[in-house]
Structure 1
Amino acid sequence: MSAFQGVKNLVGENKLKVLANKNFLVIGIGGVGSWIAEFLIRSGAYHITLVDLDEICVTNINRQIHSNHKTIGKSKVLTMKERLLEINPKAKIHTIEDFLTASTIDDIIHPEVSFVFDAIDSVKNKCLIIQKCKRLNIPFVIIGAAAQRVDPTKIILRDLNKSINDRLLFQVKKKLKKDYGYSKNSKRSYRAPAVYSTELPLPLLTNKDDCEYRTGRISNCESGLGSVGFVTSAFASVAVSFAFKKICKINDD
């Protein structure tokens, strides 16, 4: 019996093969991105590229699937790759130890990519991802802010221009309007699927603290924002569900 018999029973052998032949790109292997990679491999994906220059901090343990006390200080993408291969040893997991920027995007997002998951928190680079994917006609999904939220039932997928109660996506929309000529009409579609929460974020209770486990390479620990794994993983569930249904041609009722 195959490890992915359950997926086969759900969508059929042909669609499982389609999933296995797609090239998934996950940009940002953190609170949401690590779960995206996890759900992809368990859903039958064979080709996954992981992009991140960050390393694991003790403060990641509460919400990032690759994080535990044995992995502190290790590369996020290499640790995630090891975990994914333990789930499916036959998978082809590629890693890019770098951040997506204007100077690296052409090497990261290219025509061979089948689907892009944006799980980063840089406004400027989210806009770059949107524009690049549109230019190459690559399906994608943008992830909004998961921090300061506690209700996974408020997470939805809508067009980016419809997003509410999300400061990160608000700034993305603002930059798209200013720098890329996107419509200021809130009724217009940006043709940019986004996962976000309609929940109002909870008040911030703490300031940035220095992490005693900091390794010095990346300032991964520098955040006073609060978050929980049952919310970040739910963001990932919605994002992977969107890609899964799109690739398997499963329509909502």
Structure 2
Amino acid sequence: MLKKIIEYHHHKLACDLIIKLMESAAGVKLLVVGAGGIGCELLKTLVVSGFEYIEIIDLDTIEVSNLNRQFLFNKSHVGMSKAKVASDSILKMNPNASIIAHHCDIQSDKFDIDFFKSFNLVLNALDNRAARSHVNKMCILSDVVLIDGGTAGFLGQLHVIKKSITACYDCEPKTDNKTKTYPICTIRNTPSEMIHCVVWSKYLFE
């Protein structure tokens, strides 16, 4: 029951925050970290809801296995930057929007506290804990609200993280995943963990 109450609280906080920002959407600056399965849907929803300034950060490139769910991409985009192609795709939905794409790692030193402070809201759409933890830390330090949406295998999570009001991403214990198989959707062209290399090799030489 407590878990359900916490989940409801996170979803209500997210909805209330987005509704409030939509009242002045044209002047709101958003940072979206991740342009994969969650990121594509998120970017589309934000731009058609009236948000006109969005920066996107993703270090990965598009591969064929992405195309069944990452609808901002098609076969001609394979090998290209997810952030750049996602930016071009959502600009077609609203040519008046200002979209800036960064094809690099969110953990790069250039994305410092001042960078995070320039946004009204940060939204995570990530599939690995290290990057989610890093964004969580930067949002706490810069006192910017974070809506963290992500996946771990087939499980999805949503957290609203606001300094001094909610628990942060690292405050909640993470279950140890003992699975022996890994969904292909979590294995990326640009590896960030040893398991990415191992599983990629397995698929390549199977």
TM-score by length of structure 1 reads 0.55
Deviation at 1:67, TM superposition (A): 2.2
Q: Are residues 222 and 28 of structure 1, via their aligned partners in 2, closer, same or farther at CA, if it must alter by over 3 Å? A: farther
Give the Cα separation in 2 of the matches to 1:48 and 1:133: 17
| 1:52 and 1:96 in contact (8 A); partners too | yes
Give the Cα separation in 2 of the matches to 1:115 and 1:124: 20
Quote the sequence identity (%). 22
Q: Are residues 192 and 109 of structure 1, via their aligned partners in 2, closer, same or farther at CA, if it must alter by over 3 Å? A: farther
Quote the residue 2:174 is aligned against. Answer: none
1:190 and 2:196 correspond: no
Quote the residue 2:153 is aligned against. Answer: 147
TM-score by length of structure 2 reads 0.66
| 1:102 and 1:125 in contact (8 A); partners too | no
Name whichever structure is richer in helix by fraction: 2
Give the Cα separation in 2 of the matches to 1:207 and 1:124: 19
Deviation at 1:122, TM superposition (A): 3.4
Quote the residue 2:6 is aligned against. Answer: none
Query: In structure 2, the residue corresponding to 1:20 is in which secondary structure?
Result: helix
Quote the residue 2:88 is aligned against. Answer: 82
Q: Which amino acid aligns with 2:74?
A: N
Quote the residue 1:68 is aligned against. Answer: 74
1:37 and 2:14 correspond: no
Partner residue of 2:102 out of 88, 96, 104? 96
Partner residue of 1:123 out of 129, 151, 158? 129
| 1:34 and 1:80 in contact (8 A); partners too | yes
Say how many residue pairs are matched: 169
4+ residue runs of structure 1 moved beyond 3 angstroms? Answer: 14-17, 155-160, 202-208, 218-225
Deviation at 1:97, TM superposition (A): 1.3
Q: Which amino acid aligns with 1:45?
A: F
Query: In structure 2, the residue corresponding to 1:110 is in which secondary structure?
Result: helix
